[in-house]
Structure 1
């Protein structure tokens, strides 16, 4: 994978809003492309990004306890939808300090609905 994690995470930071714009998959894709990632054939919905990330050279990482796990710059989380939430799910990336999608998040859950429901999710590392 020829992904420049510095360019990718810098793009995330400079294009992040203060609140969700409901464009997480688009913003993460644009950041990956800014870092040289090849996203051809990418999905539209955030929940479907796992296979694309694997094809790009990311690997799935097992996180038993996310409160104690040390995430690395460039890590990505793909969250599945929960009942009553956005049917597209969510995707966000870690810039080395915070989780960012189309906005600067408090944590990887991105919102109270995800925090409360804790839907299925997978972490990926470049």
Structure 2
């Protein structure tokens, strides 16, 4: 089955909650799978890069994300499991719509941890 980024994004848009519940990795993994690509599960969001790469995603360096791009962010002091989200063409969405960019909250925006963006063509 080819990658259907629209199905993946639609899944996240329909299932996103009003605020985070700490389920970013599960929601984004399920969205990618809804788009037709199975991912190897990991314990932490910060560890999904290898799974995405093995599934055909590639890392990109971009300041202009595209619909279906996935970001994986390193863990920080209060959030050791890191974070992941998918871009819907306007916003980054994980288990909630992130109104303030790809960093999911003020702790991340202050710490500004490293991240990688993945795209499947």
TM-score bracket, shorter-length normalisation: over 0.9
Q: TM-score, normalised by structure 2?
A: 0.94
* DSSP-derived class of the 1:71 partner: coil
Equivalent residue number for residue 113 of structure 1: 107
2-structure distance, mates of 1:79, 1:37: 21
Equivalent residue number for residue 124 of structure 1: 118
Equivalent residue number for residue 33 of structure 1: 33
Count of matched residue positions in the alignment of Structure 1 and Structure 2 = 119
> Which residues in structure 2 correspond to 1:76-95 (within 5 Å)?
76-83=70-77, 85-95=78-88
Q: Unpaired runs of 5+ in structure 2? A: none
2-structure distance, mates of 1:88, 1:53: 17
Superposition CA RMSD, Å: 1.1
1-structure distance, mates of 2:81, 2:10: 25
Give the counterpart of 1:97 among 90, 97, 106: 90
1-structure distance, mates of 2:70, 2:60: 10
Q: Unpaired runs of 5+ in structure 1? A: 64-68
Q: Which consecutive segments of 4 or more residues in structure 1 shift more than 6 A?
A: none
